[in-house]
Structure 1
């Protein structure tokens, strides 16, 4: 009696998800390089210490709330609750835009504190780090708008979960990245 082995299913990942994770790894590398350069440059001296604008604390709360609403959208898609999906994606998109507005207000506060992009490297680093993160937030908001459009066209459901899962993973990554950057800048003034 011969027992035929059934072939094991190879461990795999959707190609688009794999590409997204490669992109996320490259973004991590960019910010790891920036925060490393920040530490090295700070150690060289001529580094102006200043408080981060208080508005950045509020933007941190907003990004955390947006991550929660993004998870709510994902759960809505998973259980085919189109109303929940659409509402949650709308809330996440609005919170993403609010985050960007708060970041711009934070830049205005930095200028009011005489911290400029040109001048002391400490200010330059804060503008570059927050600006580059903001650029990634813009790409995340565009992704959210694409998902929102697809949701209103009823193109997202539990059977087509990959796209919303990718969007949620990217958005959660952006939120986690901001938390890291914010704490890093608080601890390394």
Structure 2
């Protein structure tokens, strides 16, 4: 339960920090003048798109879902029928692919902001290819574990591994569908630069969040998170 509260507090803190940066907590009915949100340097800033606010709300819900699953994982670990399972070496390669995919989207975000379509297209294609590689690698890791005898119903550790990686993979697949649509629009000659830049920005935010979730899960499966949880419990007790 403590792990859930810590994770939820971190998610809420990130959302509040972002909202404060966008000045969505300001009171427009008490302000006069331009309806544009002023930037910190005094220049006018365009209003934040509603779809971006919606994405952050959605990510907050997804973060709560994963936090509950991770909390259940830690509680189930204390049972006598829990046997740990090895972490396939392929997961290291998959993790590197997801990191590079997120970095490619960050690169694409900068190119889209400056309207450099000739550099944006390969950046998006690279990000999409690496995300596909990650999903294929996750499926291959499943196959290796099953071939080694670590089946779903063997023990709770196996069940949690397949459930958490499967749930994460489904979210990656959903983000990949949006990224594929954005990539197709980038290669279209009539693509709108402003709308395309917003799509790339949203895809990058989603990718960075799912990368953070995967790094947490990877640390969990590798056993690195146990010491951190013990420290949190000590501080909260």
Shift of 1:125: 0.2
Of residues 84, 108, 111 in structure 2, which corresponds to 1:76? 111
- Asked which structure has the greater RCO (Cα within 8 Å, sep 6+), the reply is 1
Q: What is the alpha-carbon root mean square deviation over aligned residues?
A: 1.9
Q: Name stretches of at least 5 consecutive residues in structure 1 with no aligned partner.
A: none
Of residues 44, 54, 64 in structure 1, which corresponds to 2:99? 64
Of 157-166 and 48-57, more deviation after overlay is shown by 157-166
Match of 1:176 in 2: 212
Match of 1:89 in 2: 124
Match of 1:164 in 2: 200
Match of 1:14 in 2: 49
Of 10-19 and 172-181, more deviation after overlay is shown by 10-19
CA distance in 2, matches of 1:152, 1:95: 18
1:15-45 CA distance string (max 9 Å, x none): 1011111111111111101110000011122
The residue matched to 1:123 in structure 2 has which SS? helix
TM-score by length of 2: 0.73
Q: Name stretches of at least 5 consecutive residues in structure 2 with no aligned partner.
A: 1-30, 38-46, 227-237
Match of 1:106 in 2: 141
Of residues 58, 71, 95 in structure 2, which corresponds to 1:36? 71
Contact 1:156–1:164 (8 Å) recurs in 2: no
1:158-181 CA distance string (max 9 Å, x none): 575222211110111111111111
TM-score by length of 1: 0.90
CA distance in 2, matches of 1:172, 1:157: 22
CA distance in 2, matches of 1:162, 1:144: 12
